[in-house]
Amino acid sequence: MKKQLIAAAVAATVSAAALADISITGNAQVNYTNVDNAGTTPDTNKFTQETALKIVGKTGDTSVVIGLGGNGFDAPDAATGGSASAEQVDVEDLYMTTKVGDISIKAGTWDNGNNELRQSSRGTGKFQANTSVGGIDLQFNTSSAGASAEEFTVGTNVGGVALSFTQKNTGETIKASTSVAGVNLKYLGLPSDSTTADKSYVELSTKVGSVDVKVGQATADALATIDGDTWMGDFEDTTGGAYDLSAGQDVMSVELATDIAGNRVTFRNTKIDGKANEDTDFNKLIVTRPLASGATFEVTYTALDDYGTSNDTDTLDLELRVNF
């Protein structure tokens, strides 16, 4: 009996050691969305589900990261006869990070993330190296795509202003941010080597009493298109709807947020303009409440006016979300 107890204790110790440097985080959400379409277009109702898992295995300065993403169900709507979509889980990110002396290395597959001017992209066979020299941050990116994917970034802080400049094959990225008298300022520029194809974004945010205030302006030249997915709106849509922007259209958003009776209440107004009969205006009201279960319940109402088209909609989205 003692040998069995000792063996069990050793096995438990080995298992604990094996799992000690493994972490799993993620989130899941379920949404019910009702869209009231203008004119004779039928209303739509659907349920969707999204799940994301991040698994990290670590030993010393080296980590391996696996990101899994799952899309759930789209329930058929009796009125429209829509069909359900298949469930699936994909390996989205898979990369390793380590250090070689003072240089941090990252290699594999990952997503570069959205910003206010362009959508994200996930690439395979990517390589990144970072280091700092005398207060200057240096970064080099490339991938299996070769010279066309090479990027060099230099970043530093000058008098409280964070600055970075990235040289790419077809343009540059310029970032600047600072805080002055309680007002946060942010600038993002995507100058292009092509004529009239630049994009830029300016943001101001502050707190007035108990209200958080944020204002953002994204501007595109005549041959440039804003297609990011951020607080201003999801402009990655390519289905031809109101959120599918054309070249030359600008976006301006104003957001007010505060806490009321345990709820986070956010109001957002976004205006899109730049071409005749393509102006769009939408108001969004978001109420977010943490639940005792550990989940978060969120109600979002969006009224969209797409001038000169039949894309006007009123959308109610009910979301149940959990992070772990």
pLDDT of 66-111, one tens digit each? 999 987 655 444 444 444 555 678 899 999 999 999 999 999 999 9
- pLDDT on residue 4: 54
In order of 96, 118, 298, the CA distances from 230 in angstroms are 27, 10, 17
- pLDDT on residue 138: 98
pLDDT of 262-288, one tens digit each? 999 999 999 998 666 667 899 999 999
- pLDDT on residue 71: 77
Mean pLDDT within 182-199: 94
Q: Are 253 and 269 in contact, with CB atoms under 8 Å apart?
A: yes
- pLDDT on residue 77: 47
Q: b/e string for 37-73 if b means 16 or more Cβ within 10 A? A: eeeeeeebbbbbeebbbeeeeeeeeebbbbbbbbebe
Q: What span, in angstroms and rounded, lies between the C-alpha atoms of 81 and 154?
A: 54
Q: For the residues of 228-247, what is the DSSP string, one character each? A: -EETTEETT--SSSTTS--T
Kindly give, in sequence order, each residue whose CB lies less than 8 Å from that of residue 208, ignoring residues fewer than 6 positions away.
Answer: none
Q: 25-34, 60-69, 146-155: lowest mean pLDDT where?
A: 146-155
Res. 2: pLDDT tops 90: no
Q: What span, in angstroms and rounded, lies between the C-alpha atoms of 243 and 251?
A: 11
Q: What span, in angstroms and rounded, lies between the C-alpha atoms of 188 and 243?
A: 21
Q: Where are the domains of the chain?
A: 2-323
Mean pLDDT within 22-49: 89
Q: b/e string for 2-23 if b means 16 or more Cβ within 10 A? A: eeeeeeeeeeeeeeeeeeeeee
What integer best gives the mean pLDDT of the chain? 87
Position 239 confidence tier, pLDDT thresholds 50, 70, 90: low
Q: 39-43, 162-166, 167-171, 211-215: lowest mean pLDDT where?
A: 39-43
- pLDDT on residue 13: 47
- 38 vs 127, which has greater pLDDT? 127
Q: What span, in angstroms and rounded, lies between the C-alpha atoms of 54 and 71?
A: 15
Residue 148 per-residue DSSP state: G
Model confidence, pTM: 0.84
2-323 classified as CATH 2.40.160.10: yes
DSSP element (H, E) containing 68: strand 62-71
